[in-house]
């Protein structure tokens, strides 16, 4: 009798349980852009595997239409590294999502080429010289460009990081425009000190 009552109690308990709701999947959030230094930190280990003496020589932002715009950040970045020992340069991209232009999510190796000391005017620089990030450079450039930006209105913003003979330290070039060649205005910011260096109109 006792076992029968226990069985009935278990059956009643199982019938009274509320049906379990199916887990509703939240829509996937758009990929968030990253700063230049964040992308660099993802790429540098791959460069060091390629060459122990790998040194950064150039970095540039790449805009991706599906990735939201955030000041000083980009959906993808390309960094080129030089190896004096190999006499070669090699590029890698870091992208937060797959996109047109052969961009793949994460770290992706690009082409390798011969190296004779410079790429255009750019030359290798020490990792320790990159103390200030692209978002900091953007803030400095905007602060120093109130009048110019009022005249320009809304423009895409691009970033270029290089060490050239123009300045003693590597510099971020904050570029307002679709490309460097068509830009109407840009600002150089020292990547080591964070100070504004020059405006180019």
pLDDT tens digits for range 27-58: 667 789 999 999 999 999 999 999 999 999 99
pLDDT score, position 132? 98
**Region label for 74, one of left (φ > 0), alpha (ψ between -120 and 50) or beta (otherwise):** beta
Do 191 and 137 contact (CB within 8 A), yes or no? yes
pLDDT score, position 171? 98
Higher pLDDT, 138 or 5: 138
pLDDT tens digits for range 115-131: 999 999 999 999 999 99
Q: For the whole model, what pTM was predicted?
A: 0.85
pLDDT tens digits for range 9-34: 444 455 555 555 566 666 667 789 99
pLDDT score, position 76? 98
Enumerate the domain spans of the chain: 36-200
Phi, psi of 83 (to 5 degrees): -120, 115
Buried b (16+ CB within 10 A) or exposed e, 95-117: bbbebeeebeeebbeeeeeebee
pLDDT bracket for residue 5 (50, 70, 90): very low
Question: Rounded mean pLDDT of the chain?
Answer: 90
pLDDT score, position 22? 61
pLDDT score, position 162? 98
pLDDT tens digits for range 134-178: 999 999 999 999 999 999 988 999 999 999 999 999 999 999 999
pLDDT bracket for residue 101 (50, 70, 90): confident
């Amino acid at each position: 009798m006792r076992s029968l009552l226990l069985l009935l109690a278990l059956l009643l308990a199982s019938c009274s349980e509320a049906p379990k709701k199916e887990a509703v999947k939240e829509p996937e959030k758009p990929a968030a852009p990253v700063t230049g230094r964040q992308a660099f930190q993802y790429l540098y280990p791959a460069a060091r595997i390629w060459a122990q003496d790998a040194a950064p020589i150039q970095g540039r932002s790449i805009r991706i239409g599906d990735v939201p715009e955030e000041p000083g950040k980009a959906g993808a970045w390309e960094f080129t590294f030089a190896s004096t020992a190999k006499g070669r340069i090699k590029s890698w991209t870091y992208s937060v999502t797959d996109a047109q232009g052969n961009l793949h999510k994460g770290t992706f190796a690009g082409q390798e080429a011969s190296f004779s000391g410079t790429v255009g005017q750019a030359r290798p620089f020490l990792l320790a010289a990159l103390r200030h990030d692209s978002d900091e450079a953007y803030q400095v450039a905007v602060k120093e460009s109130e009048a110019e930006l009022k005249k320009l209105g809304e423009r895409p913003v691009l970033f270029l990081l290089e060490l050239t003979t123009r300045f003693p330290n590597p510099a971020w070039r904050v570029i307002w425009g679709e490309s460097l060649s068509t830009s109407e205005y840009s600002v150089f910011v020292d990547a080591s000190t964070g100070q504004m260096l020059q405006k180019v109109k």
